[in-house]
Amino acid sequence: MRLRHVLPLLLVAACGEVITVDSDAAVDAPDQTDAAVEVDGPIDGPEEPTGPIRVTVLAAGVPVAGASVVASDGGGTRSVVTGADGKATIEGRAGASVTAIIRVGKVASITTIAGAKPGDDLLFGDRRVPPTSPGAMTVKFKAFPGPGTVSTYRVDNSCRTRTTLSTVFEASLDYLGCDISSATVHIAALDSTGVLLGSTSRFASFTAGGIIDATTATWKPALPLSARFTQVPFQASSLVLRRWVGPPARQFQLATVRVDQPNATQVASLKYPDVAGQTTMVTVLTGETRQTQVFGEVLPAAATYEMSFENLPLPWISTLAANAATRTVSWTETTGAAPDGGIATLTYDIGDNDVTWKVIGPAGTVSATQVDLPAEHDAIELGAAAAAKTLVVRRFDFPEKDGYDTFRTTAEPDDLELGNFDLNGDLGKRTKLRMSEATARFSTPSPK
């Protein structure tokens, strides 16, 4: 094993506090389960005791052996590599940062979790195994009797497989990644503008190549829903009201209303399926700055909702920047309630490598600088030769996560990024979510 001196990653808090996060190690990967440890730097720092921090590194649910893992605190930098089971234990003081580097071919992931504590059990990577398909089933149904004129039918199953039909009343749905104990399908009839007219559903035990006969299922007319928004924030340029159909269904309808005046009262209306498992989600969208705030909440069934944004729960994020030459990303935030935690994700190309650099940190962090990586990872290090592609900064507040102590131990495997956050699948676990997000896409990347 070898380790070279590294510089700290600096997470600069909005209040001016500097949080030190190291992200560097150079190691030879031994083929063993128990990880060896080396220490570099001073060990006569703060007198706080060190303690074990457990680490698991996965790639698509498979343990990663020999992954570089680095912990840094006031007492120095410690490096380990994961064993054959993808696990390692590393000593650290309260407030230490822990970084893992995963490389699969030309795709690399660098993740730093700041503010770790002895006793933490940190999971890096993705625990989800890529889904396999047990097969498909054929769905048969009858025409929607009205009222209204049907333009298309949409058929969904519990794993998001969707088929859109016009005049054919039979569809084959693949069950890739499904819980095959349930073969429920939902069928929606829509008019030419996409407005829901009615819906029906049918459950049948899963049988590969089998048939779900919904020809005798009863069609139900769509139900109306409206929401009245008050105290709309001045940053908002539009509101999107979504009515989700909870598990196992995957369909939803939405209506959009433009916001023309700050603090105005707005009303949105939509039609939704008359099936069990309803919830309501509201998204506040802003305009050119690519800002978004998401407000999701499981609410009792009702035809009308009153939703006030008087107490905006999270900061708005803006002015995203990435400087590949200085290996720095930064952004600004307005005042707002402290979230449970946040994730800043920069994607960049360097040579023929596709790299994702992710920093998970507490509320208030507004910049990060990537450190020198170990020598064996020079090819993926952010620098003047890299071309920055996107920077996404997100802040999350989940009542169920209960602060950063819980957030940092679940943020990486939960993959909370908006495009991947499985709201439908989590409806049974969550009653409320809040997220603030901003995205920058760099049209003039750093030179290669």
CATH number at residue 262: 2.60.40
Is residue 445 situated within a structural domain?
A: no
Q: Examine the domain organization and report whether 110 and 157 are in the same domain.
A: no
**pLDDT at 260 (0 to 100):** 72
Contact 24, 16 (CB under 8 A): no
Model confidence, pTM: 0.74
> Which amino acid is located at 393 in the chain?
V
Per the CB < 8 A criterion, the answer to whether 225 and 235 are in contact is: no
Sequential DSSP letters for 360-379: EE-TTEEEEEPPPPPGGGGG
User: Tokens in use for 339?
Assistant: 């979230």
Give the CA distances from residue 419 to residues 81, 234, 369, 416, in Å, rounded to whole numbers and listed in that order. Answer: 31, 25, 25, 8
The identity of residue 72, as a single letter, is: S
Q: Is residue 154 part of a domain?
A: yes
d(CA 404, CA 342) in angstroms, rounded, equals 9
Element of type H or E holding 404: helix 404-407
Q: Report yes or no on 32 lying in a domain.
A: yes
On whether both 254 and 230 belong to a single domain, the answer is yes
Run of H or E residues at 426? helix 423-426
Chosen domain end from 369, 394, 419: 394
Tell me whether residue 413 is exposed, middle or buried, using C-beta atoms within 10 angstroms of its C-beta: 0 to 12, 13 to 18, 19 or more. Answer: middle
Strand partners of residue 185: 157, 202
Same domain, 276 and 196: no
**Nearest in space to 381 (alpha carbons), one of 399, 366, 369:** 369
Q: Which residues of 301-311 are buried (b: 16+ CB within 10 A; e: fewer)?
A: eeeebebebee
Q: Count the Cβ atoms, other than its own, within 10 Å of residue 181.
A: 9
- Are 95 and 108 found together in one domain? yes
Q: Are 62 and 14 members of one domain?
A: yes
102 and 35 in a common domain: yes
Task: Please report whether residue 401 resides in a domain.
Answer: no
Q: Is residue 169 part of a domain?
A: yes
Point out the domain boundary residue: 173, 200, 220. 220
Residue finishing a domain among 257, 275, 308: 308
Same domain, 239 and 297: yes
Residue 281 in any domain: the answer is yes
Note whether 286 and 359 are same-domain residues: no
Residue 411 lies in a domain: no
As for how many domains the chain has, the answer is 3
71/122 same-domain check = yes
Q: Give a yes or no: residue 104 inside a domain.
A: yes
152 in the same domain as 53: no
Query: CB under 8 Å to 208, separation ≥6 — which residues?
Result: 134, 135, 136, 137
Going across the sheet that includes 185-190, the strands are 162-165, 152-157, 185-190, 196-202, 220-221
- How far is the C-alpha of 334 from the C-alpha of 318, rounded, in Å? 8
pLDDT in tens, the chain (448 residues): 333 333 334 344 444 333 333 333 333 333 433 343 344 444 444 457 889 999 999 988 899 999 999 888 888 788 899 999 999 999 999 988 898 999 989 999 999 998 999 999 999 987 777 777 788 889 999 999 989 999 999 888 766 566 777 777 888 888 876 667 767 788 889 999 888 899 888 888 888 889 999 999 999 998 888 888 888 777 777 777 776 655 444 445 666 777 776 667 888 888 877 765 555 666 666 654 577 877 766 666 677 888 777 766 688 898 999 999 998 899 999 887 888 889 999 999 999 999 999 999 998 889 887 777 777 888 999 999 999 999 999 988 876 667 898 888 877 765 454 333 343 344 344 556 678 888 899 865 444 4
Please give the residue range of the domain that contains residue 203. Answer: 136-220
How many angstroms separate the Cα of 24 from the Cα of each of 11, 178, 257, 289? 15, 39, 48, 33
Residues 191, 240 within the same domain: no
Domain shared by 115 and 29, yes or no: yes
